[in-house]
Amino acid sequence: MKPINEMTLIFPSKSSNESLARVVAAAFASQLDPTVEELAEVKTAVSEAVTNSIIHGYENKIGEITMHCKLYSDSIEIAVTDKGKGIENVELARQPLYTSKPEMERSGMGFTVMEAFMDKVEVITEVGKGTTVVLFKTFKFLAG
Amino acid sequence: MRLQNNIQLDNNKVAKGGYALDIKLSKRGNALIAKFYGELDDHTVEYARQKIENEMIKPAVKNIILDFSNLTFMDSSGIGMIMGRYKKMEKISGKVAIACSNPQIIRLLNISGISSVIPLHPDINSAVKTLRGE
């Protein structure tokens, strides 16, 4: 299936860019006129993925994050990519409440929230090379 | 446009120093009330943590009410902050309550399991009454 529109946003892994990324993703998704609730879900999931890249991928060092969004007639696909340290055990990382940084008061709910708010979440990762999290969501009203 | 209301941040709610979060603290009896304005994410959570922490260590504070009525966004960074404050209050036998009417944030609190540990209230008055045991 060919996307009807695409966009890429590249930004340094500064926490101040978390809000930029989620607002851009929501603004792009709004071309399909989804509900306010669906947009809020997209914003939250993007925020989780970008935060993961900043805190876990780059461990608060500055690196490059790429957000590539593809829009289809009734859905969106958002890929958030970093070139950070990668995830050793994806299954463990996706467990609710699991965090590799409990000392930072992380909740360990990032992937759980992404999974709850999106239809599908894919993780492509290689230790030492980086991680891509792909978020998929169909907008129900548009899908009928 | 539906989106505009959703993504535009009210200038009055942007804290000094460029953080898109402001917290106003007040007291009611022995309860510290922290009113959140704006967005709570990984970028703003440290500000929230420090602002509340400085006040909650005072001996007159027994309980904390986190008022999210004016919060427009929260992700799991907020969950970590809430759990951190809850654990600290638990150590001094204090209680935490949350006032929130934003359905999206309530959903996040439910998904994370927070709402099974910390009671959610529709507004501050209801939270205060419960903490007083009324």
- With bands split at pLDDT 50, 70 and 90, how would you rate the model's confidence at B5? very low
Smallest CA–CA distance from B2 into chain A, residue: A36
- Chain B residues in contact with A35 (beta carbon < 8 A): 2
In the chain, the amino acid numbered B52 is I
B6–A26 C-beta distance less than 8 A: yes
Q: Is residue A57 a contact partner of residue A63, using CB atoms and an 8 Å limit?
A: yes
> Who has greater pLDDT, A78 or B57?
A78
Q: pLDDT per residue over A89-118, tens digit each?
A: 999 999 988 888 877 888 889 999 999 999
ipTM of the complex as predicted: 0.92
The whole-angstrom separation of Cα B117 and Cα B124 is 18
3 state DSSP class of B61: coil
Is A11 inside any structural domain? yes
Give the C-alpha distances (Å, rounded to integers) separating B82 from B20, B49, B53, B89. Answer: 18, 9, 12, 11
pLDDT of the residue at B98: 97
pLDDT of the residue at B110: 95
Share of chain B above pLDDT 90, in %: 71
> Who has greater pLDDT, B18 or A97?
A97
* Residue to substitute from A17, A18, A24, interface B, most B β-carbons within 10 A: A18
Which residue range is the domain that position A57 belongs to? 5-139
- Please provide the CATH number assigned to the domain covering B2-132: 3.30.750.24
pLDDT of the residue at B11: 41
A36–B2 C-beta distance less than 8 A: yes
The two three-digit tokens of residue B71, written as one number: 């919060």
- What CATH number has the domain bearing residue A67? 3.30.565.10
3 state DSSP class of B16: coil
What is the length of chain A? 144
3 state DSSP class of B51: helix
Q: pLDDT per residue over B29-88, tens digit each?
A: 899 999 999 999 999 999 999 999 999 888 888 999 999 999 999 999 999 999 999 999
Point out the residues of A that are catalytic. 48, 52, 106
Q: How many domains does chain A have?
A: 1
Angle between helices B76-91 and B45-56 (to 10 degrees): 10
Is A144 inside any structural domain? no
Kind of pairing between the strands at B31-40 and B21-28 = antiparallel
Scan for tokens 């970008």, then name that residue: A50
Q: Is residue A60 a contact partner of residue A82, using CB atoms and an 8 Å limit?
A: no
A91 touches chain B (CB under 8 A): no
The whole-angstrom separation of Cα B27 and Cα B65 is 10
The neighbour count for residue B46, using CB atoms within 10 Å, is: 15
- Chain A residues in contact with B39 (beta carbon < 8 A): 19
Smallest CA–CA distance from B6 into chain A, residue: A36
The two three-digit tokens of residue B133, written as one number: 């045991």
Domain boundaries of chain B, sorted by first residue: 2-132
